[in-house]
Structure 1
């Protein structure tokens, strides 16, 4: 039985570069032997609606064309009432955004021509997905799913700054500039952190990442030991740091070498609870949808991804 494929395109991703490259992407998909329908997003969260509707209409392969934020929206469309709409659905990726962090862990090409060839072959593997309950920016309890990393603290402040300014200079420079500017203004927040029901930290914090993938922030290797299909989160905590020391720590994060600093802790678990009396911004796959308090849960091996 032939598969039905829907391609969800965010033309605004990559600061609008995807809109320009889409005609050639389409030709490459067709050359790879794929038959598909396509739809373009025009606003935030529309990719979630398109993915959900496509699954209800019988599509069993969904391809996301865009960046980490677009991919996150598509994956959120795979779920309804706390379960997968179609557990057999396959997710495909054509990179086109600013960060491109998830594909680094996946060892997936950033070039769309190579990506189209992989999609044509159609080989898939199962990976874990994170589920997150939190407070949105309007103060309402909500939930989202993530495939890469959900963090809070300074990384949330960086993402908020990057997403409201131009990404013209691409992922690395946009996030590096956003990080430096956020660092200048950022103050540590009080954090209570539980992993698998056990209190592991209480005190001042700079940031924490609950990681399925290894990279965030435009190529920072924040969680070098994270594996997409090992059934656990890699949790990285950076305790409260003076700004000068945080600036010293920053270059090592790009190399995954920040474990040399005693204020950096690496832990593992399947559930995480983070509480703060301060306003700590969340970062979910490169988007800034809300604040702490938050609860994270791992859903092992639920997503089929073509790679």
Structure 2
């Protein structure tokens, strides 16, 4: 629990969840302002800032942590992951106000959804050290990811979601998942887990720190944020109809019992495959899966990398 820190800097992503007003729209600025007012009424200092880019966010995080204040992520999973990396590097503490499309990391943290509940977590929550994921793809800079890294139909679905304008937000991931499954081409993947190699014709490979992704899909039901391990879920290529019909099982984790699904666990995972497919992490693009003759994507756990405020 925080005892000496009484100030909070809310960093709002104005694009999280789409344009407009309110929770999940307009980046949740209104929700952040309400929570900030509740904190001020309790004797805390609280400021709300709109994100204006990576460099500005990095400078704000560094200044906030240097003062000993809490950085509060206001947005979706992508916003949280980007700030998690910055806060982790600075040695600070992160609070979370979920206002994005999926909010899967917040779901894993069992955060409340109302302003008073979130204000209570920020003011009187427990500080826990959680694992993060380090991901390096090709010559792209190393990135820290909070929830999961994936390659295949789910990354294609995430790209579809970003282009959706008229599909109701609650249905976007489901619609995109069905569309991507209906048209996917299997990828011949090579997955190395702590040196042990698995090859498969796969629809997707997910390296999970958190149990949830894709707006509530329980892709890795036994994943833990504190065990120093990553769960690797390989879904083998199968008939499109069978995979689509199996989708409801993913929401409660029953898919792991299917013959097409292999779940492994490790600390360092390397992935490559052909044909090349998109890769993503927490809803954000990470480039493309390296070919079998290229240096593989390297994904590894960073134990206890991030201090986060959680419900008591």
Structure 1 and Structure 2 fold alike (TM over 0.5): yes
Runs of 4+ in 1 over 4 A off after TM superposition: 1-4
Among 154, 173, 176, the alignment partner of 1:175 is: 173
Among 83, 90, 97, the alignment partner of 1:85 is: 90
Q: In the alignment, which residue of structure 2 is the partner of 1:41?
A: 51
Q: In the alignment, which residue of structure 2 is the partner of 1:224?
A: 221
Pair 1:53 & 2:62 matched = yes
Distance in 1 between the 2:5 and 2:140 partners? 40
Residues 213 and 251 of structure 1, relative CA distance in 2, 3 Å threshold: same
Deviation at 1:124, TM superposition (A): 0.8
Q: In the alignment, which residue of structure 2 is the partner of 1:150?
A: 149
TM-score of the superposed pair, with normalisation by structure 1: 0.88
Q: Is the 8 A contact 2:32 2:97 kept in 1?
A: no
Q: Is the 8 A contact 1:211 1:233 kept in 2?
A: yes
Distance in 2 between the 1:47 and 1:224 partners? 36
Q: In the alignment, which residue of structure 1 is the partner of 2:136?
A: 133
Q: Secondary structure of the residue that 1:109 maps to in structure 2?
A: coil
Alpha-carbon displacement from aligned partner over 1:142-173 (angstroms, at most 9, x marks no partner)? 21111111111111001111012238623x41
Distance in 1 between the 2:99 and 2:200 partners? 39
Gaps of 5+ in 2: 20-24, 291-296
Deviation at 1:2, TM superposition (A): 4.5
Q: Is the 8 A contact 2:127 2:309 kept in 1?
A: yes
Counterpart mapping for 1:164-243 below 5 A = 164-166=163-165, 169-170=168-169, 172-199=170-197, 201-243=198-240
Among 16, 27, 40, the alignment partner of 1:30 is: 40
Among 68, 74, 81, the alignment partner of 1:65 is: 74
Deviation at 1:55, TM superposition (A): 5.1
RMSD: 2.1
Gaps of 5+ in 1: none
Counterpart mapping for 1:242-261 below 5 A = 242-261=239-258
Deviation at 1:59, TM superposition (A): 4.4
Deviation at 1:20, TM superposition (A): 4.1
Q: Is the 8 A contact 1:223 1:256 kept in 2?
A: yes
Q: Is the 8 A contact 2:218 2:251 kept in 1?
A: yes
